[in-house]
Each structure stands twice: as structure tokens, then as C-alpha cells.
Amino acid sequence: MTATTTAAPESVNTSPTRSIGLMNVVRSEWTKLRTVRSTYWTAIAAGLGTIGIAVLGATEYVRNFTPHKLDDGFDAANFILQGLYVAQIALGALGVLAITGEYATGMIRTTLTAVPQRRVVIALKGLVYLVAMVIVGETLSFTTFGIGQAILHSKHAGVSLSDPGVLHVVVGGGLYIASVGLLAFALGTLVRRTAGALATFFGVLFLPSALIDLLPNSWRTAAIKFAPANAGTQVLNRWRLHDMLGPWQGLGILTLYGLVILLGALFLLGRRDA
Amino acid sequence: MIEVRDLSKRFGSTLAVDHLSFSVGPGIVTGFLGPNGSGKSTTMRMILGLDHPSKGGTTVNGRPYGEIHRPLHEVGALLDAKAMHGGRSAYNHLLCVAQSNAIPRRRVGECLDLVGLDTVGRKRARTYSLGMGQRLGIATALLGDPQVLMFDEPINGLDPEGILWIRTLLRSLAAQGRTVFVSSHLMSEMALTADHLVVIGRGRLIADSSTADLIASSSQGYVHVRTPDVEGLATRLRSAGAIVDTDADTMRVTGLECAAIGELAALDHIALHELTPRSASLEEAFMELTKDSVDYRTDATVAIAS
């Protein structure tokens, strides 16, 4: 092995005025996301979980079906998409790992040396992950809906996308996944350690409903309404529930939590030692 | 060109880097030498904008690192061999780094060839030995064909063939006119590789000079003398201006040559059983320079006794 020269690459732009090149960073972050196995494992787990629960649920429903059930406000769209609660755990964990994995392995030092504009590179990493989550979430939501309704249709218990409120549940299901993903990525960026970030993420999602009984009555209604998971999941209901936020309003609040935490984390990112 | 100006870094109550100033020029290999924990890595991390200085600052090619866009075209760095995701293959690791700086994909294969990892480039980095990890880190540093290169302890974990390879690589990079800045805690290694040395201890600058000058100025030779009349000869040599450390029947003389010692002994009819010139090793020169600035020193005799 000889240590000879490093041939100069063509088209090397050494002018001090060259731009960061946002598309370069996007391309790089996409390569990172698609070249680790955890991306595929979490997507497969989310897919199997969501579709599996829909098939099990729909089959069981069809088996026990009695026609009068149709009249008692049964929300077939929501029922079929219950598996998204499993998907949010797997895909949220992926969002945490997308950033804490870099800290855990030391890759973050390579990343920030290659792009010293820290807030830009981490914000674009989040954007790439978020776009992937919208695509995965929507694919998952529409596929699951299609499979589940096909089973329900055998007893004419299903609904179609053109029925009132159904489209917003199915579209909203995919966006809910992305919104939970944003929260997960934001918490990962803030906490930086995998275990701590995962614990915080599950805590933010599941603890409020456990703790709400401890609050004084006067706060309880607002706390139930605005707890992140409660707000976000309203989009999965075909009909608006009493005392809860509207579908898009609720999803907006969940997204806002993620954005605010991400902005705080990006602010700290610039000030901390990497 | 790397400039470090009045740089300080405080971690809690510890001053890891203490008003450090030096510059690293092109065309030569500059060694960055100091005991473990002396602030070498922290200084390099501040040059790369990973840590924020408490005071002072650094520039590369006249600009703070954080202001350089697509810096890999100007600066390449190996900070540690594990600064990569173990689940990604070497090829994909280099690819994502290259893409972030608009470096053509072709360059990834070239760099794998250059460090001898072309046959294992598709294997996951987790499966690599420490030495292979170092090579991949060096490939990462070379991706953008930069004029300025920084390597933190590059020979760690390498076998003798790998060490020779690094040494040749560093020298050839410098011969091409690049600025090459390499840290090490091994004086002997730096004496073979570096033309110029920046020595620090406890975050403070101890020496900044050419390697040859540093060795000449700090490696004081001495003469080992064995004689039945230690007392008499010591008195004689001290009166002639020598510094003498005596033992049962030997002494260590600095400040006089062998010939002078022999003649003085002959004048007093003192028998000599041995008269040997000894030159201090490079390691001793380094220990001498940094003896007041080692954080965690073990007193060998105490350690063995207890």
C-alpha cells in the first residue's frame, strides 16, 4: 500500500463565497436515513403492527356482526386505524434514534465538522425524517384502511373515503404519525441520549392521561383537551367528541408542541459543545 | 494555515486549555505533543468549532471554522476513529459525508482505495478493527482534497505496517504543500514524523520550535562514572563546575565531557572502573519538558511498594 497523492476531484469549488448548499445537506441526510437498518426495521414493525391489528379487529368484528350495530355510532374508519398507536411507537423511536444515534456513535462530530452550520444541518435532518414520515404514515394509513374496509365490506359494515369525515381520518392518520415523529425528533435533539430521549418521548405521549386524575377539577378539562396525545388523536375520529379539540385544531396543537421543543433544542444546539 | 490565538477553555473548575497561542503553517508536518489530558483534543475540537472557547479563538485559512461553507474542501480532520455510525458501511459513511459538501461520488471510491479499504468498503463499520476505523477516518478527512489536515492521535490502534503507512502519508501530504497538524503523546513517533513541534502540558504552551532544535535543547547528555572513590571524585568534579549525582559506587555527571572527567581523576590518582557517555532519550527529553504538567502521574516505586 502506498501513500501517494490524493488526486484533486474535479469541480471542487474553493471560493470562500460558496453557499452552504441546502440540497447537498438534504441529499446527505437522506443517504444517512436510508443506509441504516433501524429505518427498515421500524418501518416494517409499524407496517406489521398497524395492518395486523386492522385485520384481526375487522375479522373479529365481521365474525360477531349483527346488523343493529351499524346504528350505534360505530366509527369504522377509526376502528380500522387503531394500529397506528403501535406504529407511532416504532416510528417515533426511529425519530429519536435519527438524532441520538449520531450522538451515541460519535457520528455527530463528523456531521458538524462537515456542516458547521449546526442549526441548518439538524433542521434539515429533521425535515428529511419528517417528509419520510409523511410518506410512510400516509402509505400505512391508506393501505390499512383499504385492507380493513375490504374485510368489513363483506358484511356491508365498512365505509368509503367519500363518506363524510372518513377522508380526514385516513389522511389525518398519516399526518398524525408524522406529527408524533416531529415530537420524537425534537425530544431526541433536546435530550441527545437515546435512553433518556425515548423515556421522555413515551412519558410525553402516555403520562398525561395517567396523571390527569391528580389535577384539580378546574384544570382537568383543559389538561385532557391539550395533552399532546389527546390533541393529536382527535383527527382519527370521524365525528368530533364533546369537550375535545377539533381534528385539525388538535393535530395543529400536537405539531406545535413538536415545533416549539425543536426550536428550543436548535437554540441550545448552537450554544452547547458537541 | 491554522491560527490559535489566546485560546482558553474551562470545564467547570478545570482550565483545560490555558491562554494557548500558536500557528501551524503549510508544507511541513507539525506535531502537537503533550501528555494525555493536556488539552490537545480539546484544542483541536475548538479549531473545528465543535467546542466553544471560553476565551480567545481560532481560525483556519483566516476564518473561524464555523463561517466556512462546505469546509471539507479546505479542512479535513480525523478526531477519533469512532466518529461514525457502526451500522453504516464505509462506502455509505463516506457517501453521506461527501454529499453534504457536494463532493462527487467518484471521490468516495478513490478515498477507499487510498486508505486500502476498497475490498471491505461494503461491510458495516461496526465490524472494523480499530486500525481499519482509523483508516476510514483518514479517508473521511481526505474526501474534499483539503489543503489543511488535522489528525488526532492517528497511529492509535495501528500495527507497525499501519504506523509506517501513516508516517509516509503525513509526510507526502506535507510535501504537496498542505498544512498537516498531528497530535500525539509519543515523542519518539513525532520525532520521526514532524518537522515542527508544538508542545503543551496542562493546556499551556511549553515549546513551539523545530523538532531538531527541541531535541538538541532539551536532551541533556550525562556521563556515567564508576569508581571506588565516589566521595573524592565528586568533590573534584563539583569544584570543576560539574553537576554530580552520586550513588554507592557510581555517579551521574552533567556538565563535563568524558575526557575532562578522566583527566581530573588522573590528577588525583583516582581509579575509574567505568566512564560512559549517555545521551538522554527523546522520551526523557519529553518527560523533562512536561514533568510539571502531567495530571496523573504514578510514582513507580511507591506503586510497586504498596
Mean pLDDT score across all residues of chain B: 89
Task: With CB atoms and an 8 Å threshold, state whether B145 touches A19.
Answer: no
- Grid cell digits, residue B209: 520550535
Task: With CB atoms and an 8 Å threshold, state whether A271 touches B85.
Answer: no
Q: Which of B45, B83, B99 sits opposite A106 (nearest CB)?
A: B83
Range in A122-126, A206-210, B170-174 the model is least confident about? A206-210
Give the single-character DSSP code of A7.
P
Q: Does residue B169 register a pLDDT over 50?
A: yes
Instruction: Annotate B106-148 with DSSP letters as a single string.
Output: HHHHHHHHHTT-TTTTTSBGGG--HHHHHHHHHHHHHTT--SE
Is residue B85 within 8 A of residue B125, CB to CB? The reply is yes
Give the whole-angstrom CA distance, residue B274 versus residue B31. 39
Contacts of A110 in chain B (CB under 8 A): 83-84, 97, 140
* Section A227-250 average pLDDT: 93
Range in A6-20, A251-265, B175-189 the model is least confident about? A6-20
The alpha carbon of residue B22 is apart from the nearest alpha carbon of chain A, in Å, by 22
Contacts of A117 in chain B (CB under 8 A): 66, 69
> What percent of chain B has a predicted confidence (pLDDT) above 90?
66
Distances (CA, A) of A111 to A116, B102, B130, B216: 8, 14, 20, 42
Give the whole-angstrom CA distance, residue B280 versus residue A142. 78
Which is it for strands B222-226 and B274-278: parallel, antiparallel or unpaired?
antiparallel
Task: With CB atoms and an 8 Å threshold, state whether B82 touches A28.
Answer: no
Predicted local distance difference test score (pLDDT) of residue B278: 78
Distances (CA, A) of A186 to A39, A119, A243, A264: 18, 12, 28, 9
Q: Does B165 touch chain A (CB under 8 A)?
A: yes
Is residue A271 within 8 A of residue A190, CB to CB? The reply is no
Work out the pLDDT band at A219, boundaries 50, 70, 90: confident
Contacts of A109 in chain B (CB under 8 A): 45, 50, 79-80, 83
pLDDT tens sequence across B265-283: 999 999 999 998 876 655 6
Rounded to two decimals, the pTM is 0.84
Q: Which of A4, A14, A109 sits opposite B73 (nearest CB)?
A: A14
The pairs formed by B164-171 with CB atoms below 8 angstroms and a separation of 24 or more are B165/A1, B165/A3, B165/B116, B166/A3, B166/B138, B167/B192, B167/B193, B168/A2, B168/A3, B169/A3, B169/B138, B170/B29, B171/B29
Task: With CB atoms and an 8 Å threshold, state whether A12 touches B110.
Answer: no
Range in A218-232, B115-129, B236-250, B278-292 the model is least confident about? B278-292
pLDDT tens sequence across B62-88: 999 999 999 999 999 999 877 899 899
B contact test, residue of A1, A19, A25 with most B CBs within 10 A: A1
Give the whole-angstrom CA distance, residue B110 versus residue A6. 8
> What percent of chain B has a predicted confidence (pLDDT) above 70?
90
Task: With CB atoms and an 8 Å threshold, state whether B63 touches A1.
Answer: no
Instruction: Annotate A110-158 with DSSP letters as a single string.
Output: HHHHH---HHHHHHHHHHHHHHHHHHHHHHHHHHHHHHHHHHHHTTT--
Q: What ipTM goes with this model? A: 0.88
Contacts of A106 in chain B (CB under 8 A): 80, 82-84
Q: Which residue has the cell 479563538?
A: B57
B contact test, residue of A2, A113, A121, A271 with most B CBs within 10 A: A113
Predicted local distance difference test score (pLDDT) of residue B197: 94
Predicted local distance difference test score (pLDDT) of residue B179: 98
Give the whole-angstrom CA distance, residue B73 versus residue B65. 12
Q: Does residue A168 register a pLDDT over 80?
A: yes
* Section A141-150 average pLDDT: 96
Q: Does residue B216 register a pLDDT over 80?
A: no
Give the whole-angstrom CA distance, residue B135 versus residue B111. 10
Distances (CA, A) of B52 to A53, A94, A102, B7: 50, 30, 20, 10
Q: Which of A14, A29, A36 sits opposite B85 (nearest CB)?
A: A36
A contact test, residue of B17, B84, B96, B123 with most A CBs within 10 A: B96
* Section B54-62 average pLDDT: 96
Q: Which of A36, A251, A25 has the alpha carbon at shortest distance from A127?
A: A25
Q: Which of B92, B100, B140 sits opposite A24 (nearest CB)?
A: B100
* Section A108-123 average pLDDT: 96
pLDDT tens sequence across B91-110: 999 999 999 999 999 999 99
The alpha carbon of residue B2 is apart from the nearest alpha carbon of chain A, in Å, by 16
Is residue B120 within 8 A of residue B132, CB to CB? The reply is yes
Q: Does residue B148 register a pLDDT over 80?
A: yes
Largest Cα–Cα separation, chain B: 80
Task: With CB atoms and an 8 Å threshold, state whether B104 touches A106.
Answer: no
Task: With CB atoms and an 8 Å threshold, state whether A9 touches B106.
Answer: yes
* Section B34-57 average pLDDT: 94
Range in A157-161, B163-167, B297-301 the model is least confident about? B297-301
Task: With CB atoms and an 8 Å threshold, state whether A113 touches B48.
Answer: yes
Work out the pLDDT band at A8, boundaries 50, 70, 90: very low
Predicted local distance difference test score (pLDDT) of residue B191: 84
Return the half-sphere exposure (C-beta side, CA atoms, 13 A cut-off) of residue B24: 32
Q: Does residue A148 register a pLDDT over 50?
A: yes
The alpha carbon of residue A97 is apart from the nearest alpha carbon of chain B, in Å, by 11
Q: Which of B73, B110, B142 sits opposite A13 (nearest CB)?
A: B73
Give the single-character DSSP code of A29.
H
Task: With CB atoms and an 8 Å threshold, state whether B69 touches A21.
Answer: yes
Contacts of B71 in chain A (CB under 8 A): 113-114, 116
Return the half-sphere exposure (C-beta side, CA atoms, 13 A cut-off) of residue A162: 0
Predicted local distance difference test score (pLDDT) of residue A213: 83
Q: Does residue B40 register a pLDDT over 90?
A: yes
Predicted local distance difference test score (pLDDT) of residue A9: 42
B contact test, residue of A11, A19, A110 with most B CBs within 10 A: A110
Contacts of A33 in chain B (CB under 8 A): none
Q: Which residue has the higher pLDDT, A221 or A52?
A: A52
Contacts of A32 in chain B (CB under 8 A): 85, 88, 96
Q: Does residue A21 register a pLDDT over 50?
A: yes
Segment of A86-95, A235-244, B224-233 carrying the highest mean pLDDT: A86-95
Task: With CB atoms and an 8 Å threshold, state whether A112 touches B49.
Answer: yes
Buried b / exposed e over B282-295, threshold 16 CB at 10 Å, is: beebbbebbeebbe
Give the whole-angstrom CA distance, residue A95 versus residue A91. 6
Predicted local distance difference test score (pLDDT) of residue B90: 96
* Section A234-245 average pLDDT: 91
Predicted local distance difference test score (pLDDT) of residue A116: 96
Predicted local distance difference test score (pLDDT) of residue B248: 85
Q: Does residue A107 register a pLDDT over 60?
A: yes
